[in-house]
Amino acid sequence: MWLDNASQDAVNLFWQLCGETEPFPRSLERPIALALPVALVKLPKLSLRNVESWLQRRRISFQFNCQSRAVRGCLIAFGGQGLIFVDGADPDDERRFTLAHEIAHFVVDYWQPRESAIRRFGNAITEVLDGLRQPSVNERLYALLSGTSIGVHTNWMERGRADATVWDIESRADRIALALLAPPDSVLSAADVSAPTFDQRQTAIVSILCQDFGLPTSVARSYGWSLLTAVGKGPSWIETIRLKR
């Protein structure tokens, strides 16, 4: 299965909350406004310092616990709501993938665990989740077991990120982002994957992913490879040897 059940549930929940399905290629800007308590902010040449400055101009005191760096996108969530920053100077394809990636983080890493904690402990737990009081032993244990964020939740999508310690979390967000923008079934039904060689099949599916679904070329290549492999249309062992040379 290309997407695990929990991730697919998150995708289904997003469209259920949205109440409509956006046609391809999707920008996700209208759906996110309909589905989630999240605002989208576009800033040119996005960096962590730019995000801090934007917040400070609105009398919101916040600083990241690291040095500023250039990022494609950034999520800040607090009080059950979120701000997603994207680089407004990025091309449309890069910007839509960044937005989908940060939506995935908001839903799976922040909003769903928060809602689960509220269902378990009631609304009083929001004071703990927002860092307004110390948790009880039971509340602290639940937070540790469920991964529920305490205080301000942040995440940023870096340019050329390759941190192995967060690989699983980022990989899951990428998969959810791809399922939001280019669901596997929709892609495979639109692409001709019957060509005799893997190179031909890969070229065909990458073309569809870029032209019809609006994905960046680099993302389309890795996603196309993954989809073809998942349906038994990946490279033969001879082609694999040639590709490794």
Percentage of the chain beyond pLDDT 70 is 87
Last residue of a domain, one of 127, 160, 181: 181
Count of domains for the chain? 2
> pLDDT of 72-88, one tens digit each?
999 999 989 999 999 99
**What is the pLDDT at residue 72?**
93
Burial level of 32, CB count in 10 A (0-12/13-18/19+)?
buried
**What is the pLDDT at residue 131?**
74
> pLDDT of 198-221, one tens digit each?
999 999 999 999 999 999 999 999
> What is the token pair recorded at 172?
């899951």
Owning domain of residue 32: 5-181
Better-scored residue on pLDDT, 160 or 137: 137
Residues 134 and 234 in one domain: no
Last residue of a domain, one of 165, 181, 197: 181
Last residue of a domain, one of 181, 200, 218: 181
Neighbours of 190 (CB within 10 A): 16
> pLDDT of 148-180, one tens digit each?
666 677 876 665 555 555 778 889 999 999 999
Residues 135 and 189 in one domain: no
| pLDDT tier, 122 (very low <50, low <70, confident <90, very high otherwise) | confident
pTM for the predicted model, two decimal places: 0.89
Residues 126 and 213 in one domain: no
* Spatial separation of the C-alpha atoms in residues 105 and 176, rounded to whole Å: 9
Residues 129 and 215 in one domain: no
DSSP per-residue string spanning 127-156: HHHTTSSPPPHHHHHHHHHHT---S-EEEE
| pLDDT tier, 147 (very low <50, low <70, confident <90, very high otherwise) | low
Name residues whose C-beta falls within 8 Å of residue 234's C-beta, 6 or more positions apart in sequence: 198, 225, 228
Average pLDDT value over all residues in the chain:
88
Residues 212 and 224 in one domain: yes
| pLDDT tier, 235 (very low <50, low <70, confident <90, very high otherwise) | confident
Is residue 73 within 8 Å of residue 89, measured between CB atoms? no
Residues 72 and 27 in one domain: yes
Residues 173 and 193 in one domain: no
Name residues whose C-beta falls within 8 Å of residue 150's C-beta, 6 or more positions apart in sequence: 128, 129, 131, 135, 143
Residues 75 and 154 in one domain: yes
Tokens 């967000």: give the residue. Answer: 173
